[in-house]
Amino acid sequence: NAGVMQNPRHLVRRRGQEARLRCSPMKGHSHVYWYRQLPEEGLKFMVYLQKENIIDESGMPKERFSAEFPKEGPSILRIQQVVRGDSAAYFCASSPQKGAGEKLFFGSGTQLSVL
């Protein structure tokens, strides 16, 4: 039973390019969360999605960032026109239901570096 799979593990982009981060939740999980971790900081919530729906995007920057979780396929976090300040580790977590607590599992993250 594979865990939460994120790819790529490392992504290098130049300023102005687009970054696409993918997250495949654990089997049977239909709730996906994205968090961002800046150096020397804790994780900060970005967005919570269920299949085909954005439930809570209160942590998403107003511009350049978007997320989706289609009916088929992985969840995608998309960052347009990246800037150096976007460099961070991006973690995805999944759970089988809302309020799952102990059933919330994190992936190993995507380290985004913006040159």
Site membership for other proteins, residue 85 (CB under 8 A):
no
* 69: number of Cβ within 10 Å: 25
Site membership for other proteins, residue 4 (CB under 8 A):
yes
Nearer to other proteins, 33 or 82 (CB): 33
β-pair partners for 12: 113
Q: What totals of helices (H) and strands (E) does the chain contain, helices first?
A: 0, 11
CB of 81 to other proteins, least distance (A): 27
Site membership for other proteins, residue 51 (CB under 8 A):
no
Site membership for other proteins, residue 54 (CB under 8 A):
no
Residue 41 · residue 31 · CB < 8 Å: no
Phi, psi of 32 (to 5 degrees): -130, 140
Site membership for other proteins, residue 107 (CB under 8 A):
yes
Phi, psi of 102 (to 5 degrees): -65, -15
Among positions 82, 109, 112, 114, the unique one binding other proteins when judged by CB under 8 A: 109
Nearest to 6 by CA among 107, 86, 103, 112: 107
CB of 78 to other proteins, least distance (A): 20
Which residues lie near other proteins (CB under 8 A)?
4, 31, 33, 35, 40-45, 48, 56, 58-59, 91, 93, 95, 98-102, 104-109
